[in-house]
């Protein structure tokens, strides 16, 4: 009988102790939740403060931009047409590259590979300082790719292009050329001037190693004869 009473007391004690543990656990979880909520509320308040500060900075920048635009527009009234055109041309850049290398000023490129790519590119300065009407005066006339480039003999095997906000380009790929093949193209005088080239006839020549060495030797001989 005594054993039964003791056993019942032990069981009763365990039940009470377990209940206390559950209660303490719930209270701890509530405290953790309250702490996290307080942290999140603090972070939200900080973010709202930062947003307000950024909005003020944006408004100030917009005022500066508006002032700059008005100032530039007034200044253009006191600049000659020639100077305006010079400034407008500075807003546009034109490039022609063969296998990502600029073409020499003499317009001649010698290659030792039967496949190459020719890239023609028009780049507009992403930071626009001049009014649109004046800035567009600096752009090359007509279409760069239709009006200013003409292939005289060999035609490209592939053509691709991009037309983005500030960049327009066309890439012409020539494949499996025979040794000695010369790819010639004529560019307009206007494009020649923008590229700073000495000629408007560009020549890309595929030479094997022996031909390149012969040309180099001939050049050295000519230099020696000139010195004599």
pLDDT tens track for 102-139: 999 999 999 999 999 999 999 999 888 888 888 999 99
Mean local confidence (pLDDT), 166-173: 95
Q: What is the pTM of this model?
A: 0.64
Beta bridge partner(s), residue 170: 120, 161
pLDDT of the residue at 165: 85
Going by the DSSP 8-state scheme, the letter that residue 99 receives in this structure is T
Element (H, E) at 120: strand 116-124
Residue 224 has pLDDT above 70, yes or no: no
The percent of residues in the chain predicted with pLDDT above 90, rounded, is 47
pLDDT of the residue at 20: 53
- Asked whether the beta carbons of 145 and 161 are under 8 A apart, the reply is yes
List the one residue out of 212, 201, 203 whose CA is nearest residue 109: 203
Query: What burial class does residue 69 get, using C-beta atoms within 10 Å of its C-beta: 0-12 exposed, 13-18 middle, 19+ buried?
Result: middle
Residue scoring higher pLDDT (66 or 14): 66
Q: How far apart are CA 223 and CA 206, in angstroms?
A: 24
pLDDT of the residue at 40: 87
User: Which tokens belong to 15?
Assistant: 């039940």
pLDDT of the residue at 213: 47
List the one residue out of 177, 49, 65 whose CA is nearest residue 113: 177
Q: Give the pLDDT confidence of 69-94 residue by residue, as tens digits.
A: 777 777 778 788 899 899 999 999 99
Residue 44 has pLDDT above 80, yes or no: yes
Kindly report the backbone phi and psi dihedral angles of residue 90, in degrees, each rounded to the nearest multiple of 5, phi listed first.
-70, -15
Residue 97 has pLDDT above 90, yes or no: yes
Q: How far apart are CA 112 and CA 47, in angstroms?
A: 60
pLDDT of the residue at 211: 47
* Residue 38 pLDDT level (bands cut at 50, 70, 90): confident
The CA–CA distances, whole Å, from 18 to 15, 27, 30, 173 equal 5, 14, 18, 81
Q: How far apart are CA 113 and CA 205, in angstroms?
A: 10
* Residue 217 pLDDT level (bands cut at 50, 70, 90): low
User: Which tokens belong to 61?
Assistant: 């920048």
Q: Give the pLDDT confidence of 136-150 residue by residue, as tens digits.
A: 999 999 999 989 999
Residue 33 has pLDDT above 50, yes or no: yes
């Amino acid at each position: 009988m005594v054993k039964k009473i003791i056993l019942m007391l032990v069981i009763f004690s365990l039940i009470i102790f377990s209940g206390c543990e559950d209660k303490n656990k719930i209270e701890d979880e509530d405290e953790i939740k309250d702490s996290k909520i307080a942290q999140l509320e603090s972070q939200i308040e900080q973010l709202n403060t930062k947003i307000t500060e950024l909005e003020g900075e944006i408004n100030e920048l917009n005022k500066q931009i508006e002032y700059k635009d008005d100032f530039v527009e007034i200044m253009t009234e006191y600049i000659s047409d020639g100077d305006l055109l010079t400034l407008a041309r500075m807003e546009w850049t034109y490039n022609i590259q063969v296998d990502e290398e600029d073409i020499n000023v003499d317009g001649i490129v010698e290659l030792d590979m039967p496949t190459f790519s020719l890239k023609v590119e028009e780049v507009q300065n992403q930071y626009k300082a001049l009014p649109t009407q004046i800035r567009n005066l600096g752009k090359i006339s007509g279409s760069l790719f239709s009006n200013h480039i003409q292939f005289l003999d060999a035609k490209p095997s592939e053509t691709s292009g991009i037309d983005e906000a500030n960049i327009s380009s066309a890439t012409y790929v020539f494949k499996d050329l025979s040794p000695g093949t010369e790819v010639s193209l004529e560019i307009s005088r206007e494009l020649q001037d923008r590229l700073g080239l000495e000629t408007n006839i560009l020549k890309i020549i595929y030479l094997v190693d022996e031909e390149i060495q012969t040309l180099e030797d001939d050049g050295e001989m000519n230099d020696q004869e000139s010195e004599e």
